Amino acid sequence: MRTRFAVLILLLFLSGAVSATDVIYHLHQANQNKFLTVLNNMENMLKKINIQNSNIILILQGKGIQILAQTKASGISQRLTRLQQRGIKIETSEQNYIRLNKSAKIQPLPDRLLKNTFTRLIELQQKGYVYIKP
């Protein structure tokens, strides 16, 4: 059900029916297919919007950070780096990032480390960000 809602919001956004340009993508699972779907969605959004007037944030939490360490060969890290170069911000749970980065050098580096992911999600939604969780 959540997936259908997220797809609906994304479609409305891409069609221009929703004018919000501030978006949070939230991943907390080590599911490569979901991660790839989010990357595709962000890349498609960038084709339709002016990133200079937008804020797109990918928040990785828990096992969502692990996917970066597990999938270096799949090209996910390179795609994320390109998205960062185009203006998308990556934020991660500080505690999980530091723990995982000791054993596997995670790339790309996040733009911001979060003390509390849920507090950040609430803060951004109160500012009007659209929340998308695959």
CATH class of 2-132: alpha beta
Backbone angles phi, psi at 104, to 5 degrees: -135, 120
Name the one residue in this structure whose structure tokens are 């998205």: 83
**pTM exceeding the 0.85 threshold for the entire prediction:** no
Where does the chain show beta strands of DSSP type E?
A: 22-27, 55-60, 89-93, 112-114, 130-132
How many whole angstroms separate alpha carbon 73 and alpha carbon 90?
A: 20
pLDDT of the residue at 24: 94
How many whole angstroms separate alpha carbon 83 and alpha carbon 119?
A: 24
pLDDT of the residue at 30: 83
- Domain range annotation of the chain: 2-132
Q: In angstroms, what CA-CA distances link 115 with 2, 92, 97?
A: 26, 9, 11
pLDDT of the residue at 12: 54
The answer to whether the beta carbons of residues 108 and 78 sit under 8 Å apart is no
- CB neighbour list of residue 72: distance below 8 Å, 6 or more residues apart: 107
pLDDT of the residue at 18: 46
pLDDT of the residue at 17: 45
pLDDT of the residue at 104: 67
pLDDT of the residue at 2: 53
| Average pLDDT, consecutive stretches of 10 residues, N- to C-terminus, the chain (134 residues) | 55 52 89 88 84 85 80 74 91 85 73 92 93 87
